[in-house]
Structure 1
Amino acid sequence: MSVRALYEAAKVDSATAPYDTIHMKVYYPANLDGSMDQINMGLVPPRDDDKPWPVVIFMPGTNVPVESYAWLAKALAEQGIVTVLYSWIKEDMPGFICLSPGIELANLRPDTYGTAPTASALPAIYQALTRINTSGVLAQRLDLTSLVIGGHSAGGSVALLNNNPNWFPWLKGCFTYAAHAAASTQLGFADDSMLTLNPNLPYLLMAGSRDGVIAASSFRYGDAETSSSTGRIARTFTDSIDRHQGDTHFITLAGANHFSVVHPSDSATGRQFLDWDSEGSDDDIRHCIASLTTQFILGELLGDPAARRAFSNTMTNPLIAAHDCK
Structure 2
Amino acid sequence: MSGLIRSLWWSARTDGTAPFDTAHLKVYYPAIAEGTDAERLTGVFAPDPAGAPYPVVVFLSGVNVGQEAYRRFATAVAETGFVVVTLDRVAELFGGQQGLTPGVDLDAARPDAYGTRPTCPTIGAVLSALTELNEQPPLRGALDLDRVALGGHSAGGTVVLQSARYFPAVAAVFAWGAHTMVATMLGWPAGTVLPAQVSCPVLLGVGGNDGVIRGSADRYGEDGDDRPDPVRRTFTEALPDGDHLLALIPGANHFGIADADPTAARAFLDGPADTDALGPFAALTSIFLRAHLRGEVAAKAELAAFDATTMRLTRR
Q: TM-score range by the shorter chain?
A: over 0.9
Match of 1:272 among 256, 267, 274: 267
Q: Secondary structure at the match of 2:298?
A: helix
Structure 1 residue ranges without an equivalent (≥5)? none
- Partner in structure 2 of residue 287 of structure 1: 279
- Partner in structure 1 of residue 193 of structure 2: 194
Q: Secondary structure at the match of 1:295?
A: helix
Tell me the TM-score normalized by structure 2. Answer: 0.96
Q: String of CA shifts for 1:166-202, please: whole Å, max 9, x gaps.
A: x211111200000000011011100111101235211
- Partner in structure 1 of residue 314 of structure 2: 324
Alignment partners' CA distance in 2, 1:7 and 1:56? 15
- Partner in structure 2 of residue 212 of structure 1: 211
Kindly state the Cα deviation for residue 94 of structure 1 after the two structures are TM-superposed: 3.1
Q: String of CA shifts for 1:10-60, please: whole Å, max 9, x gaps.
A: 111x31011001100000000011112211111110112154100000000
- Partner in structure 1 of residue 293 of structure 2: 301
Q: Secondary structure at the match of 2:11?
A: strand
Q: Confirm or deny that 1:183 pairs with 2:182.
A: yes
- Percent of aligned pairs with the same amino acid: 36
Aligned residues: 314
Q: Secondary structure at the match of 2:46?
A: coil
Aligned structure 1 segments of 4 or more residues deviating by more than 3 angstroms: 224-228
- Partner in structure 2 of residue 87 of structure 1: 88
- Partner in structure 2 of residue 103 of structure 1: 104
Alignment partners' CA distance in 2, 1:128 and 1:38? 25
Q: Secondary structure at the match of 2:50?
A: coil
Change in CA separation of 1:324 and 1:50 when aligned onto 2, cut-off 3 Å: closer
Q: String of CA shifts for 1:120-153, please: whole Å, max 9, x gaps.
A: 2111111110011111111001100001000000
Q: Confirm or deny that 1:10 pairs with 2:12.
A: yes
Kindly state the Cα deviation for residue 92 of structure 1 after the two structures are TM-superposed: 2.0
Tell me the TM-score normalized by structure 1. Answer: 0.93
Q: Give the aligned residue type for 1:288.
A: P
Q: Give the aligned residue type for 2:272.
A: D
Kindly state the Cα deviation for residue 301 of structure 1 after the two structures are TM-superposed: 3.4
Q: String of CA shifts for 1:219-245, please: whole Å, max 9, x gaps.
A: 1111144345x71111101111121x3
Match of 1:259 among 255, 279, 289: 255
Match of 1:250 among 246, 250, 253: 246
Q: Confirm or deny that 1:241 pairs with 2:218.
A: no
Structure 2 residue ranges without an equivalent (≥5)? none
Alignment partners' CA distance in 1, 2:105 and 2:257? 24
Q: Secondary structure at the match of 2:137?
A: coil
Q: CA-atom RMSD, angstroms? A: 1.4
